[in-house]
Structure 1
Amino acid sequence: MGDRRDAHAGAAGGAPAADRPEGLRNVVLVGHSGAGKTTLAEALALAGGAMNRCGRVEEGTTVSDFDEIEHRQQRSVQLSLIPVEWGNIKINLLDTPGYADFVGELRAGLRAADAALFVVSAADGVDGATRMVWEECAAVGMPRAVVVTHLENARADFDEMTAICQRVFGGDDPDAVLPLYLPLYGEEAPDGHTPVAGLIGLLSQRVYDYSSGERVERDPDPEHLPLIEEARNRLIEGIIAESEDETLMDRYLGGAEIDQKTLIEDLERAVARGTFHPVLAAAPPPEGARHGLGTLELLELITGGFPTPAEREAPAVTTPQGAPRPPLECDPDGPLAAEVVKTSSDPYVGRISLVRVFSGMLRPDETVHVSGHGLEDRGHEDHDVDERVGALSSPFGKTQRPVPRAIAGDLVCVAKLTRAETGDTLSAKDDPLLMEPWIMPDPLLPVAIEAHSKADEDKLSQGLARLVAEDPTMCLEQNQDTHQVVLWCLGEAHVDVALERLRGRYGVQVDAVPYRVSLRETFGDKAAGRGRHVKQSGGHGQFAICEIEVEPLPVGSGIEFVDKVVGGAVPRQFIPSVEKGVRAQAAKGVAAGYPVVDIRVTLLDGKAHSVDSSDAAFQTAGALALREAAKDSRIHLLEPVAEVQVLVSDEYVGPVMSDLAGRRGRVLGTEPAGPGRTLVRAEVPEIEIGRYAIDLRSISHGTGRFSRSYARHEPMPPQLAAKLREEQEETR
């Protein structure tokens, strides 16, 4: 690391390529919005020679944010791949959005990567969501390192930020999170701020001065030596503690000098195992310069310390029918097994799939088998089809550079996979496989939409299908009760991006309308009704009279119809007609226009005419009888109640329970859910949790998650029911 030289040969002019998995590194950038992930990715690409033919980063674009929405919103909203070559090693940088609404893109990046760089701002610290992702990575043993950015900020303090990272990320072992370099401060600026001009390597005991825009190596100044010694000793002890050589600690404690080569090799092994997490600093290069602060050191860490794809375990595979298969190995000569980790659309090229190859080799123009789990509740069908692979390419901003193949361990963009969606498996057509799916967050924020015009209505269905195919964290619902088209999203920003893509990418203008929950009506007490449908206007008339009794039933009973007619007052052939009319009216509602449930309707009596009675007449009479009975009964509005489970940090349990109580919720209990976490179980009316996905994020500072499931319908409080009816009358 500190002892390595810049052995890089420029990669300008073509896409980086790798012949063996050992020459690949797949690294995901993780951090909160605004931490500087995209800026860091661009700085690494610049240092790695990702240039256009003019020797500059392409004017008017960045190497990662190429979506028009990202340009307008000034933030990442999707996963981006930035290939960089360094020292004959291809690094696939996966830049993820930091905003919580796009956590699905983050999870796709984690699936495709073998190691993670956690980018934290020295000015803003570590947020709760970043801490949770760190814990998820720790649970699966993913190697991690920390990069501190924004050191140019007047409030930045590298030492304080390192201490925070040790406390938050280190947990019981803070010495597993230690800096490899210390910042070298330059001359004090007129505003009193002292900029960071370089880095001091703790293992190499050398200074790397970036003040000229290039890295210049030299010996440290005498005043640096005490600072280096203290931090270096702690770093060496941390490395030795993770060493597989059990004699190393004894030698070190006995006063032996551990050579730098041994320390670096042990450090790299500990980083690759995910047991040691170095802290580094980075900053973008000055105008016109090629190297930003810490970029070369980061590239050295990635290529030397992060694992190759062959060192990481691949996801489990089965046949599409579920039969187990042997574990995959990252072997270009093995069976083809690849996964679509992201799907996007280009107005000129069409659908583009970002694919991670776990085994075998993917080539253009070959036929592969597409297997998909399907997410029927989110509008995704199962896939089990053969499809021809289009051109393979490696992205750089808006440019796609063609590549001849993608070997095991690599990532590549594939054109024209029209049936494959995010999460689908690509395999040989004569040996189909299906990979174990990764966890997708549930979309819990509903937005009801309507086509803006008749022309938009004609394109809406196709546009929504394409939108949902790109984003498996989105759910499309055609609500049969409210007759609304509902998009379920992860948050407001997710909604904004979805609607903007509908407009800009698919030419569909939609309007967001108030979301309605599926209410019900029921009778509060026993009532009687008489339906009389008698018309005589010349020719064939209509005649039907029926008398019914309605009584409420327990929740969940549905509608029962009982025939107690005696003496043939209603002919047998027309009794089903009365029932049909009653059920049709119940579906339309009798008070506020919501379906009637949980009642028993008893047909007691009626009259018929030998000529004018008919099926249609008795259907009408049955409907009239139910409406008449409703006038003499208290009609209750029933609202759906959801069972809600909230997983939250212990310090936010009180605010969460108070908030649930304010939503007319009933807390059923709490239970521990791991270190520092509590699961709160409650029942809450669904009408009160339409925006809970947003509100919980605010209450818990981004650390809370919840799930919901339908429990039952129960009576709405009379005052709320009355208010709802008034609002409906005003709308009409």
Structure 2
Amino acid sequence: MGDKTRTSTHPGAAGRAATADRPSSVRNVVLVGHSGSGKTTLVEALALAAGAVNRAGRVEDGTTVSDHDDIEHRQHRSVQLSLVPVTHDGIKINLLDTPGYADFVGELRAGLRAADAALFVVSASDGVDGATRMVWEECAAVGMPRAIVVTHLEAARADFESMTDFCAEAFGRDDPDAVLPLYLPLYGEHGPDGNAPVAGLLGLLSQKIYDYSSGERRELLPDPTQLPRIEEARNRLIEGIIAESEDESLMDRYLAGEEIDVKTLVGDLERAVARGTFHPVLAAAPAPEGSRQGLGTLEILELITGGFPTPAEHELPAVTTPRGRPCPPIGCDPAGPLVAEIVKTSSDPYVGRLSLVRVFSGTLRPDETVHVSGHGRAGRGHEDHDLDERIGTLSSPFGKQQRPLTHAAAGDLVCVAKLTRAETGDTLSDRDNPLLMEGWSMPDPLLPLAIQAHSKADEDKLSQGLARLVAEDPTMRLEQNPSTRQLVLWCLGEAHRDVALERLRSRYGVQVDAVDHKVSLRETFGERATGRGRHVKQSGGHGQYAICEIDVEPLPPGTGIEFVDKVVGGAVPRQFIPSVEKGVRAQAARGLAAGHPLVDVRITLRDGKAHSVDSSDAAFQTAGALALREAAAGARIDLLEPVAAVTVLVPDDYVGPVMSDLSGRRGRVMGTEQTGHGRTLIRAEVPESEIGRYAIDLRSVSHGTGRFSRTYARHEAMPLPLAGKFREREQKVS
């Protein structure tokens, strides 16, 4: 970085997996950016520059480092977190490539958990989307060091300087002078018009040219006519670095006209980057075919090794015992107690189940027994783990290869085979000293997908396939709805849903059909009613005799069902009154007009008749059910729909469209409040039947910047015209 002229070393190439024994020799970096920004291309370029792949960008088996999932090839986009380890200047760099599409934000959060610093990849032709800005703010809130890489400089109308200013505005709200470029691109003779390639970089600190036109970086002295171009940008960069310097005398010396040594500036720059207070902007372009070094790749590798923090510098998550008793903070020490976390679970057709693990403390070795502790997400189908498991082989992924490792020390990332019970988010620790790491936040899946097995053969495999699918992806939730009797897979969006169905089919051999998702409707009486149930049968021997008369009246929402006994004179013997109650409650559970459970009514037993021989428990249960059905036949039955309490967080610019959209869904806006950073929280109540696709529609209305949550509030009466349409639709289906 700056005046450094280091070149790449290649200890991780040629099929050997690099092993890092010290946290100081590891950098864990997550790449963040919107879909199409060029993250995967940049990872491949960095792997090529680091010598991890050959000049054709291939691993020795002919695949590329981005060859991970057949679904990604078919969809032409990343759908999962992938790890690409490379080595530069004796430092192992774990590059974590994350999907840019919002449906796979769970993979992004796993990458953020496993990393110590982030590279935000921004396309010069597309700019910065709202979702990327929100991730930046999340990283800022926890102090994660960040840098920015501008890609697609070869695109028409791409302008690096303008994009840098845009990034300073988008990412540097609090301090725009903390988002500054380290280099300026040098274009061909036609300038940045989209046709001339970017031939090199001009270092603002070193005032040297790094020429990539030959496919290998060459260091040249600039033409004197080029220096005036960088003077303003260089002075601003120096001032920005000095402002973040821990040496308070540096600013006074600079203002007094003293020329600050470049080595001093680079050292202060690296420390400011590692602290997360300065965010350099770099440029990148892929290497020409047959070349080894793409534009800016060595500069990025130098920034990562010199400026990004080691795992030992990153504050680690809190640790407790599995029972919740706090423990002293852990350090990133290979000789310390074992504390590791599963950040991703996947299935390999040849190896089986693979767990991507970040080792925070201690050293993980194959074939040892570890304790597995899990927070448990019962609502999402994940059990609370507290068990021992044997570690399988350790390996380092590279494309479709798994390169064996003898161990994984604190700070490193490794793949662990054959953990049959452990799931994403679980903690691995010493068997004799079990520990549990504080969990990380996962987005709630809010798009329902009702499914059923396509055939009997699929039905036999469905349960196991779904269990494995949900174990791999904690952002999915599996629900067996007792009211609608539907199997519902909750997803984050349409793309997430499509990938889930494809994985069920291709990976687990289960074909399912999507069906319309039903909400849990209820029924209630809209007015008072009476009913008489008569169950009298005589067919030889003991007959059946039971008569009961009831009154039904509606109650306030949420009351449930009340049963009142007002029989006088023993018209219904005392031993049969519970039988009547059991019968009416059973009928209420089955429903009346549309087959939905009956709620919020008071049922009063006021009279009846019995026979000394033929009356029985079963007869009075039947009579009670018949009485309730007769009461319903002569009364108005209201259809109740579930209403959700919805909170929507959006930028202020989208408050109007979002509130209008909620109103169009029969929603009632209950209030708004400012939350800072130009965002507003909207509280509303909306019928659940109107927000089945809200996870998709909100993304469209808010241009990907809105988030929402929902909780059940209550059931309330559906408007009569709409209730009629619902009943007609249900009759057609049945």
Q: Shared fold by TM > 0.5?
A: yes
Decide whether aligned partners of structure 1 residues 334 and 192 sit closer, same or farther in structure 2, where only a CA change above 3 A counts.
closer
1:238-277: CA deviations, max 9, x gaps? 1111111111111111111111110100110010000110
In the TM superposition, residue 60 of structure 1 has moved relative to its aligned partner by 5.6
| Residue 270 of structure 2, aligned match among 261, 264, 268 | 268
**Counterpart amino acid of residue 449 in structure 2:** V
In structure 2, the partner of 1:140 is: 142
Quick check: 1:339–1:356 contact (8 Å CA) kept in 2? Answer: yes
Q: 388-397 or 202-211: which moved more?
A: 202-211
Which residue does the alignment assign to 2:575? 573
1:694 equivalent among 693, 696, 709: 696
Say whether residues 1:216 and 2:212 are aligned partners.
no
Aligned-residue sequence identity (percent) comes to 80
Which residue of structure 2 lines up, in the alignment, with residue 315 of structure 1? 317
Where does residue 6 of structure 2 map in the other structure? Answer: 6
Residue type at the aligned position of 1:10: H
RMSD of equivalent CA atoms: 1.5
The residue type equivalent to 1:461 in the other structure is S
CA separation in 1, counterparts of 2:226 and 2:237?
A: 16
Measured against aligned partners, the alpha-carbon deviations of 1:270-323 in whole angstroms (never above 9, x if no partner) come to 100001100000011111111111001100000000000011111000111111
Residue of structure 2 in register with 1:77 after alignment = 79
Give the corresponding residue for 1:561: 563
Give the whole-Å Cα distance in 1 for the aligned partners of 2:579 and 2:615: 11
Q: Report how far residue 65 of structure 1 moved.
A: 4.1
Residue of structure 2 in register with 1:127 after alignment: 129
Task: Determine the C-alpha separation between the residues in 1 that align with 2:481 and 2:63.
Answer: 41
Evaluate the alpha carbon distance shift between residue 674 and residue 189 of structure 1 in structure 2; reply closer, same or farther with a 3 A threshold.
closer
Q: Deviations over 1:550-604 (max 9, x none)?
A: 1111111111111222222222222222111111110111101100001111112
Q: Match for 2:621 among 619, 622, 629?
A: 619
Q: How many correspondences in the alignment? A: 732
Q: Which residue of 1 aligns with 2:370?
A: 368
CA distance 1:353–1:190, change in 2 (3 Å): closer
Q: Which residue type is aligned with residue 678 of structure 2? A: G
Provide the residue aligned with 2:158 in structure 1.
156
Residue 23 of structure 2, aligned match among 7, 17, 21 = 21
1:523–1:56 Cα change, 3 Å: closer
CA distance in 1, matches of 2:327, 2:58: 48
Contact 1:46-1:57 at 8 Å conserved across structures: no
For residues 310 and 420 of structure 1, the distance between their equivalents in structure 2, rounded to whole angstroms, comes to 26
Give, in whole Å, the separation in 2 of the partners of 1:253 and 1:6: 32
Return the alpha-carbon distance in structure 2 between the equivalents of residues 548 and 454 of structure 1: 45
Deviations 1:494-538 (A, max 9, x none): 111111111111111111111111110000111011112222334
Does 1:50 find its partner at 2:57? Answer: no
8 Å CA contact retained: 1:64, 1:81: no
State the AA in 2 paired with 1:16.
A
Secondary structure of residue in 2 paired with 1:103: helix
Asked whether the 8 Å contact 2:447–2:490 carries over to 1, the reply is yes
Partner of 1:343: 345
Amino acid at match of 2:297: T
Measured in 2, the distance between the counterparts of 1:230 and 1:527 equals: 85
Q: Distance in 2 between matches of 1:192 and 1:383?
A: 55
Counterpart code for 2:471: A
SS of residue in 2 equivalent to 1:224: helix
Q: Distance in 2 between matches of 1:155 and 1:623?
A: 75
Q: Which residue pairs with 1:107 in the alignment?
A: 109
Q: Distance in 2 between matches of 1:726 and 1:612?
A: 41
Instruction: Output the CA distance in 1 between the equivalents of 2:174 and 2:324.
Output: 40
Other structure's SS at 1:188 match: coil
- The answer to whether the Cα contact below 8 Å between 1:187 and 1:195 also exists between their aligned partners in 2 is no
| 1:641 aligns to 2:657 (yes or no) | no
What does residue range 59-78 of structure 1 map to in structure 2 within 5 Å? 61-78=63-80
Structure 1 distance, partners of 2:60, 2:525, is 69
Q: Which amino acid aligns with 1:398?
A: K
Give the Cα–Cα distance (whole angstroms) in 2 for the partners of residues 6 and 705 of structure 1: 44
Match of 1:610 in 2: 612
Is residue 720 from structure 1 mapped to residue 710 from structure 2 by the alignment? no
Shift in Å, 1:607: 2.0
Structure-2 residue corresponding to 1:300: 302
Letter in 2 for 1:250: D
- Cα shift readout 1:436-466 (whole Å, capped 9, x = no counterpart): 0011111111111111111111111111111
User: Is the 1:119–1:147 contact (alpha carbons within 8 Å) kept by the matching residues of 2?
Assistant: yes
Deviation string 1:208-251 (CA, Å, 9 cap, x unpaired) is: 11111111111112331111222111111111111111111111
The answer for the alignment partner of 1:709 in structure 2 is 711
Q: 2:235 aligns with which of 233, 236, 242?
A: 233
Paired residues for 1:651-662 under 5 Å: 651-662=653-664
Are 2:56 and 2:289, in contact at CA under 8 Å, matched by a contact in 1? no
Aligned mates of 1:353, 1:533 — CA distance in 2: 63
- 2:451 paired with 1:449: yes
- 1:89-141 CA distance string (max 9 Å, x none): 00000000000000011001001100000000000000000000000001111
* AA matched with 2:9: A
Structure 1: any 5+ residue segments left out of the alignment? Answer: none
In 2, the alpha carbon distance for the partners of 1:465 and 1:65 equals 26
Partner of 1:247: 249
Distance in 2, Cα, partners of 1:4 & 1:254: 27
Q: Which residue of 2 aligns with 1:183?
A: 185
Alpha carbons 2:56, 2:290 under 8 Å: kept: no
1:411 is the counterpart of 2:413: yes
Instruction: Tell me which moved more, 608-617 or 412-421.
Output: 608-617
Q: Deviations over 1:682-706 (max 9, x none)?
A: 1111111111111111111111111
TM superposition shift of 1:54: 9.8
> Which stretches of structure 1, 4 residues or more, deviate above 3 A after TM superposition?
52-61, 187-192, 537-540
Give the Cα separation in 2 of the matches to 1:57 and 1:200.
32
Cα offset for 1:542?
2.4
CA distance in structure 2 between the aligned counterparts of 1:21 and 1:211, rounded to whole angstroms: 36
Q: What are the residue-to-residue correspondences of 1:518-557 with 2, within 5 Å? A: 518-557=520-559
* 1:9 maps to amino acid: T
Unaligned runs of 5+ in 2: none
SS at match of 1:693: helix
1:458-607 aligned at under 5 Å gives the runs: 458-607=460-609
User: Structure 1 residues 666, 44: CA separation in 2 closer, same or farther (over 3 Å shift)?
Assistant: same
**Equivalent residue number for residue 172 of structure 2:** 170
Q: Matched residue of 1:325: which SS?
A: coil
* 1:44-79 superposed Cα distances (whole Å, 9 cap, x missing partner): 011111127999435663313411111110100110
2:422 counterpart letter in structure 1:
A
Secondary structure of 1:673's counterpart equals strand
CA distance, structure 1, for counterparts of residue 587 and residue 460 of structure 2 = 31
| Residue matched to 2:36 | 34
Go from structure 1 to structure 2 and tell me whether the alpha carbon gap of 1:711 and 1:56 turns closer, same or farther (over 3 Å shift).
closer
Selected match of 1:685 from 675, 684, 687: 687
Q: CA deviation at 1:173?
A: 1.4
- Tell me by how many angstroms 1:192 deviates: 6.8
Q: 1:56 to 1:716 in 2, by over 3 A?
A: closer
Report what 1:354 is aligned to: 356
Q: Determine helix, strand or coil for the equivalent of 2:676.
A: coil
**Is this contact kept in 1: 2:215–2:288, CA < 8 A?**
yes
Instruction: Report the residue type matching 1:542 in the other structure.
Output: Q
TM score, norm. by length of structure 2: 0.98
Aligned to 1:90: 92
Shift of 1:172: 2.9
State how far apart, in whole Å, the 1-side matches of 2:85 and 2:367 are.
Answer: 23
Given that 1:392 and 1:413 are in contact with CA atoms closer than 8 Å, whether structure 2 keeps it comes out as yes
Contact 2:394 2:406 in 1 (8 A): yes
**272-281 or 183-192, which moves further after superposition?**
183-192
Displacement, 1:608?
2.3
Partners of 1:81 and 1:95 within 8 A in 2 = yes
